[in-house]
Amino acid sequence: MFPEIITFKQLGDERGGLVAIEEETSVPFHICRIYYIYDTKVDVERGFHAHKTLSQVGVAVSGSCEMVLNDGTTEVCTRLDSPTKGVVIRPGIWRSMRCFSHDCVLLVLADQPYDESDYIRNYDDFLSWKCTP
């Protein structure tokens, strides 16, 4: 299924919401790195790259944004608008993010450390890479 959507269990109660994310169970990999994107202007689009080996899960823990994923053939747009909704971003997927609400905090869980050499930042290079056996 593309995109892969994860629905995290809501553990909150009358005091407020709570979501717990555990590696290998809540998300399909070991969590090595966590980063978050915030204070992004409404008209800003970012991303526009693929990763060769990195797997990630993105969750809008506050506000909302759109995640556009492209496997080289099909492009899908997923609205991330709940702290209980995650989208899995596998290797070899071109991604961009847009339509950030003013209060959006996009949390990203990644299975590897930051490595610029894992990025493909040119779309034609991405398509060539996808065709390479």
Catalytically annotated residues: 49
- Beta carbon nearer to ligand T46, 14 or 116: 116
Buried b (16+ CB within 10 A) or exposed e, 42-69: eeeeebebbbeebbbbbbbbebbbbbbb
| Identified binder of ligand T46 from the candidate list 114, 122, 125, 128, rule CB under 6 A | 114
| Identified binder of ligand T46 from the candidate list 47, 63, 91, 92, rule CB under 6 A | 47
Is residue 91 at the binding interface for ligand T46, with CB under 6 A as the rule?
Answer: no
| Identified binder of ligand T46 from the candidate list 71, 108, 123, 127, rule CB under 6 A | 108
* C-alpha to C-alpha distance for 21 and 100, rounded to whole angstroms: 23
Within positions 1 to 40, which residues make up the interface with ligand T46, using CB under 6 A? 33, 35, 37
Phi and psi angles of residue 85, each rounded to the nearest 5 degrees, phi first = -115, 120
Strand order in the sheet with 4-7: 4-7, 85-89, 56-62, 105-110, 33-38
Is residue 90 at the binding interface for ligand T46, with CB under 6 A as the rule?
Answer: no
The residues of the shown chain that bind ligand T46, judged by CB under 6 A, are: 33, 35, 37, 46-47, 56, 58, 95, 108, 114
